[in-house]
Structure 1
Amino acid sequence: MSALWLLIIILALAATGFILGRGRAVASVGGDRRKLHSLPNYYGFNVAMLALVPALLVLAVWVVIQPIMINANVSGHIPDALYSDAGQLNLIMSDVNRVADGLGDALRQGVITAEGIHTLDPETSDLRALLGSVGVAIGSDISADILTAARLLRDQSTTGQRAMTFVVLVVASLGFLAAMRMTSGTFRARNTVEYGVKLLLIGAASLAILTTVGIVLSLIFNTISFFGMFPAADFLFGTTWSPEGRGGSEHLGILPLLWGTLYISFVALLVAVPIGLFAAIYLSEYASRTTRAFAKPLLEVLAGIPTIVYGLFALTVVGPLLVNVFGADGLGWMQGARSVMTAGLVMGIMLIPFVSSLSDDIINAVPQAMRDGSYGLGATQSETVRQVVLPAALPGIAGAVLLAASRAIGETMIVVMGAGAAARLDLNPFEAMTTVTAKIVSQLTGDSDFASPEALVAFALGMTLFVLTLGLNILALYIVRKYREQYE
C-alpha cells in the first residue's frame, strides 16, 4: 500500500476516533456532561491524537529511511568491476532505479507477471521493449548485473511497502484502542491533549533547528572533503577560476568570485539605499495617511516579484538600454548587455522594498516626544528629520542596510541573467562578471561526480557565502537589538 493511502486511512481512523471517543466519554457519565473532567471534545481529540500522531511519525520516518537502506544494500551487490569511483556507482544506481521503476509499472499495468520479471533476458530486445511500453527510456545497454540489481531493488521495495503498511496500521490501531480504553469521565483529557500539543510544538521547533544544523553540517563535511583534495590556500587566495578539468591549483581561486559578488552587491546598495531611505522618510514623515496606505503596499509589491522576472528584465530591458548609452554607439565603455551595472541596477530595484519597509518601521518607532521637543525649540520639519529623527533611527537603518546587503550577496538569478559568467578581477562596472552563487549553480548543474574537486568546490563556495551572510546578519541583528533596547 502506498504512503498516500496509508495517510488517508490513519486520518480516517483519527476522525472516527474523535467521534467515538467523544461519545464514549459522554456515555460514561450517563449523558451528564457536567460530571466530565474536561469538555467532550478533549476526549475526542485525545483518541484522534493517539491514533494519528505515532502512526504518522512512523510513516514519515519509514518513507525517509527505507529508500536509503535499500539503495545502500542494492549498491553493495553491484560488482566492483563495473565502476571505479562513487560517481560511476551513482550513475549505475540511476539506471537500476529506472529499470526497477519500469518493471514495477509494467507489473501494475499487467504488461508482465511477477514470474515473467525473473525470466527476462537483458541480451534480447524484450526488456528494452517492455520498458519502452511503460515510458522508461534507457540510454545504454542493460547488463545482467543491472537487471539483477533492479529485481533486487523492486523486491526489497515491495517487501518494505508491505512491512510499512503492517507496522503503521498496527501502531495506529494500538493508539486508537489505548486511547479508547482510557476514556472515562474521570480521565484528565484536557491535560493530556494540551501536553501532546506542547510536544508537537516542541517537535516543530526542533525540526526547524535540526534542519539548520543539518544544512550546516552538510556544508562543513563536504567542504572538509574538498580541502582534502584541493589546497585551502589556493582556493582562498587564488586569482583564477577555471574548473574545466585542466588541472592546477590556481584554477579554483575564489577571489574573482568574491570580487564579483561584492562589486555587484555594492552597486545594488548604491541604488537601493538612497531610494529606499528617501521613500521611507517620505512615507513616515511627509505622506498623508491616504498616500501612505496606497504607496507603501504598492512599493512592497517589488519584494514579491520572482527573481527570475527581474533577471529577464535585466537581460531584455536594462542591458540593451545601457548598451545604447555606454556601448559602441555611445561612449564605447560597454561591450555587451551583461555587466556588473546591469545586474547591480536591477538588484538594487529589487532591494528597495527591503530598505524602505524596514527603515519606515524603524523611523516610526522613534518616540513622537522627540519630534515634539524639536518643534518646540523652533526647528522646521526638515531640520527635525535631519537632526533628530535620522540620528535616532540610524542604528536601525544601518541594520536594515546590512540585511539588504546579505540579501544581495545571496542573489542568483539576476546575476546569472544580468551579469554574465566571467570570473575576473576588474574595476570596470560595464564588464561582465559573476558571483559565488552563480558558480555554485553551474558546478552542480548536470550529472555531477561528488567525488571530484570540481563538484565539491560548490560546497566550499557555499560555506564561504554562508559565513559571509551569517556575519552580516549577526551584525545587523546586533545593531537592531541595541536600537530597540534604547528606544522601546
Structure 2
Amino acid sequence: MAIAPPDALPSPAQSKLAEFARAKAARARRERAIEGLLLLCASVSVLTTLGIVYILIRESVSFFAQVPIKDFLFDTQWTPLFDDAHFGIMVLMSGTLTSSFVALCIAIPMGTVIAIYLSEFAGHKTRETLKPMLELLSGVPTIIYGFFALLVVTPLLQKVFPELPGFNVLSAGIVMGIMIIPYVASLSEDAMRAVPMALREGSYAMGGTRFQTAVNVVVPAAFSGIASAYILGISRAVGETMILAVAAGMQPTLSFNPMEPAATITSFIVQVAMGDLPHGSIGYQTIFAAGLSLMLLTLCFNMAGYYLRKKYREAY
C-alpha cells in the first residue's frame, strides 16, 4: 500500500481554508435562492397587472372592432343592452367623476384636518386611541356603507332638499367620502410625523404658534406624502362599486348634477357581470371596454400624483 509523502498531506490551515470556501459557497447559494424567491414574490403584482391589462386590451380590441372609437368616446347615450344600442362611455364617466368629486370634497378636507390634529396637537394617549378607531372605518364592508347611504343619509338630505330622489349621487358620494377619510388621514398623519423636529423647533424659535407651524411648515414639508394620500383617496373613490350600486340608482344619464341618479363604470360592470349575457357578445364585451377606460382614468390620476410627489420632494 502506497503512502503519500508528508508534504502532500493537507495542513490544518489548508483544511480550514477549504472548509471556509465550502461554507462561503453554500451561503452564496442560499442567498441566491432567497433572492430568487423574493424576486418571484415581487413579480406577482407586476405579472398580475400585466395579465389584467392583457385581458382588458384583448377583449376591448374585439369590442372596438364592432363599435367605432368615436361613438364610444362622444356618444351621449349608454344603452348597450337595448336593441337600439349606444355605447357612449361619457355617460358612465360623468357618474364616476361626479361621485368621486363629492367624495373627495368630504374626504380631503376632513382627512387633512384630522391628520394635522393627530400629528401636531393630540397627545400620545389621544393619538393611540383615536387612530385605531379611525382606521376601523376602513374595515366596514362597503355594502354596509351603501345601505347606510340609502336608508339614513338620503332621508336626512331629503329633509333639506325635498325634491331629492331616493337614489342619488349626493348621498352615495358623501358616504363614500366618509369611507375614504381613514386612508387620507392615516397616510397624511404618517407623512407629517416624518417631518424632522428641527423644522418645528426652528418655527417655534421664530415665534410661530403650533397652528402656524403645522400649516406653514409641517404641511408643506410633508406635501409629497400628503399628495400620495390624496391620490390613493382618488383611486379609491373612482374604483368604488357597492355604495354606488346600492344608493346611486344605476341609471345611465349624462349629467354632472349630484342630486340626480346616475350609473358609474364600476356599477355597470357589476350589473352586466351578474346578468345572463353570453360570453363573447357585444353587450358582455362592453364591461372590458369600460374597465379599460377606468384603468386609464386611474393611471392618469396616479401619474399626476407621481408628478406632485416628485416636484415637492425636490422642493423640500
- Using the TM superposition, give the Cα deviation of residue 246 of structure 1 relative to its aligned residue in structure 2, in angstroms: 1.3
Distance 1:387 1:264 in 2: 31
Other-structure match for 1:479: 308
Contact kept? 2:249, 2:263, Cα under 8 Å: yes
Task: Please report the RMSD computed on the Cα atoms of aligned residues, expressed in angstroms.
Answer: 2.4
Identity, in percent, stands at 48
User: Match for residue 145 of structure 2?
Assistant: 310
> How far apart, CA to CA, are the structure 2 residues paired with 1:302 and 1:364?
22
- Residue 440 of structure 1 and its aligned partner are, at CA, apart by 1.1
Determine whether 1:286 maps to 2:131.
no
Say whether the 8 Å CA contact 1:359–1:396 is kept in structure 2. yes
Distance 1:256 1:293, change over 3 A: same
Measure the CA separation in 2 of the matches of 1:430 and 1:395: 34
- 1:396–1:479 contact (8 Å) kept in structure 2: no
Cα deviation, 1:408-459, whole Å, max 9, x if unaligned, reads 0000011101111111123432211111111111122233323221111110
Q: Distance in 2 between matches of 1:225 and 1:212?
A: 20
Counterpart of 2:76? 239
Matched-pair contact (CA < 8 Å) for 1:339–1:420: yes
Partners of 1:427 and 1:202 lie apart in 2 by: 45
Give the one of 228, 245, 248 matched to 1:399: 228
Whole-Å separation in 2 of the counterparts to 1:420 and 1:232: 27
Q: Is structure 2 residue 116 aligned with structure 1 residue 268?
A: no
Give the conservation status (yes or no) of the 8 Å contact 1:272–1:352. yes
Q: Residue 98 of structure 2 contacts residue 257 of structure 2 at CA under 8 Å; is this kept in 1? A: no
Structure 2 residue runs of 5 or longer lacking an equivalent are: 1-15
Q: How far apart, in 1, do the equivalents of 2:155 and 2:172 lie?
A: 12
Distance 2:309 2:193 in 1: 14
C-alpha distance in structure 1 between counterparts of 2:113 and 2:41, whole Å: 40
Match of 1:440 in 2: 269
* Letter of the 2:155 counterpart: P
For 1:383 and 1:187, locate their aligned partners in 2 and report how far apart those are by CA, in whole Å: 57
Q: Distance in 1 between matches of 2:220 and 2:42?
A: 38
Kept in 1: contact 2:95–2:256 (CA 8 A)? no
- Asked if the contact 2:195/2:222 (under 8 Å) is kept, the reply is yes
Q: Deviations over 1:84-138 (max 9, x none)?
A: xxxxxxxxxxxxxxxxxxxxxxxxxxxxxxxxxxxxxxxxxxxxxxxxxxxxxxx
Alpha-carbon distance between aligned partners in 2 of 1:364 and 1:191, rounded to the nearest angstrom: 39
Indicate the residue corresponding to 1:378 in structure 2.
207
1:485 positional shift: 5.0
Match of 2:35 among 193, 198, 206: 198
Contact 2:231 2:301 in 1 (8 A): yes
Counterparts of 2:315 and 2:212 in 1: how far apart (Å)?
22
Instruction: Give the match for residue 7 of structure 1.
Output: none
User: Does residue 257 of structure 1 match 2:92?
Assistant: yes
Residues 400 and 476 of structure 1 are in contact (CA less than 8 Å); yes or no, is this contact kept in structure 2?
Answer: no
One-letter amino acid matched to 2:35:
K
Cα separation, partners in 2 of 1:37 and 1:202, compared to 1, 3 Å? farther
Aligned residues: 300
Aligned partner letter, 1:278: V
Name the amino acid aligned to 1:371: R
Q: Does 1:228 align with 2:57?
A: no
Distance in structure 2 (CA, Å) of the matches to 1:309 and 1:432 = 19
Q: Give the partner amino acid of 1:477.
A: Y
Shift in Å, 1:238: 1.0
Tell me, which stretches of 5 or more residues in structure 1 are unaligned? 1-33, 39-184, 328-332
Q: Secondary structure at the match of 1:442?
A: helix
Deviation at 1:386, TM superposition (A): 2.7
Aligned positions of 1:65-214 closer than 5 A: 189-214=26-51
Q: Which amino acid aligns with 1:415?
A: L
1:326 alignment partner in structure 2? 161
Query: Is residue 299 from structure 1 mapped to residue 147 from structure 2 by the alignment?
Result: no
Is the contact made by 2:96 and 2:238 (CA closer than 8 Å) also made in structure 1?
yes
The AA in structure 1 aligned to 2:124 is: R
**Structure 2 length as normaliser, TM-score?**
0.87
Deviation at 1:295, TM superposition (A): 0.7
Equivalent residue of 1:229, what SS? coil
Contact 1:355 1:401 in 2 (8 A): yes
2:55 aligned with 1:218, yes or no? yes
Q: Is the 8 A contact 2:80 2:286 kept in 1?
A: no
Amino acid at match of 1:345: I
Change (3 A) 1:208 1:270: closer
TM-score w.r.t. length of structure 1: 0.57
Shift of 1:245: 3.0
Structure with the greater alpha carbon radius of gyration: 1
Q: CA deviation at 1:193?
A: 4.0
Greater RCO, 1 or 2 (C-alpha within 8 Å, sep 6+)? 2
State yes or no: 1:449 paired with 2:284.
no
Equivalent residues in 2 for 1:386-425 (5 A)?
A: 386-425=215-254
